[in-house]
């Protein structure tokens, strides 16, 4: 209840905390966008050529099925000979993308063993296949 002799205070909205929140969110998006861009070299204007081709690494697929059987590009292979078989498929002075298709029901230790063998190959980049939810 207001007394008749009290002066009426004007309503105010304090926007300083809102400005702080907006600047914090803006800072977050700026910093996160800096980490999303891949910068592997200096920015240059590349020359144009009519015979230019996109260089993609060759793909090699290693599959581990439900029974734990290994396959290299759909051909059965033993774990002991996996590393040498993959090395034979990689061309000299090139890199290859090795995709590991492992069934979700197999032993985690077996997947780690296959990954360990594939990581020994310096020319191979390892990728693990998964389905998008």
pLDDT tens digits, 73-92: 888 889 888 888 888 888 88
DSSP string, 24-93: HHHHHHHHHHHHHS---S----PPP-TT------EEEEEEE-TT--EEETTEE--HHHHHHHHHHHSPTT
Mean pLDDT to the nearest integer, 42-62: 72
Is pLDDT above 90 for 22? yes
Q: Are 91 and 82 in contact (CB under 8 A)?
A: no
Q: Summarize pLDDT for 101-122 with one digit per residue, the tens.
A: 888 888 888 889 989 988 888 8
Is pLDDT above 70 for 13? yes
Residue 125: closest CA among 88, 99, 92, 91: 99
Is pLDDT above 70 for 32? yes
In the chain the domains, ranked by start, together with CATH numbers, are 58-128 (3.30.420.270)
**pLDDT-based confidence at residue 56 (cuts at 50, 70, 90):** low
Is pLDDT above 90 for 17? no
């Amino acid at each position: 209840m207001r007394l008749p002799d009290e002066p009426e205070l004007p309503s105010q909205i304090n926007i300083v905390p809102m400005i702080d929140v907006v600047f914090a969110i803006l800072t977050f998006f700026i910093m996160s966008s800096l980490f999303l861009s891949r910068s592997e070299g200096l920015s240059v204007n590349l020359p144009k050529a009519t015979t230019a081709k996109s260089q993609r690494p060759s793909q090699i697929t290693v599959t581990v099925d439900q029974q734990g059987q290994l396959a290299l590009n759909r051909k059965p292979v033993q774990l002991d000979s996996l590393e040498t078989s993959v090395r034979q498929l990689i061309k000299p002075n090139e890199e290859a993308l090795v995709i590991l298709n492992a069934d979700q029901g197999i032993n985690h230790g077996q997947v780690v063993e296959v990954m360990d063998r594939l990581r020994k190959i310096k020319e191979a980049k390892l990728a693990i296949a998964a389905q998008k939810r």
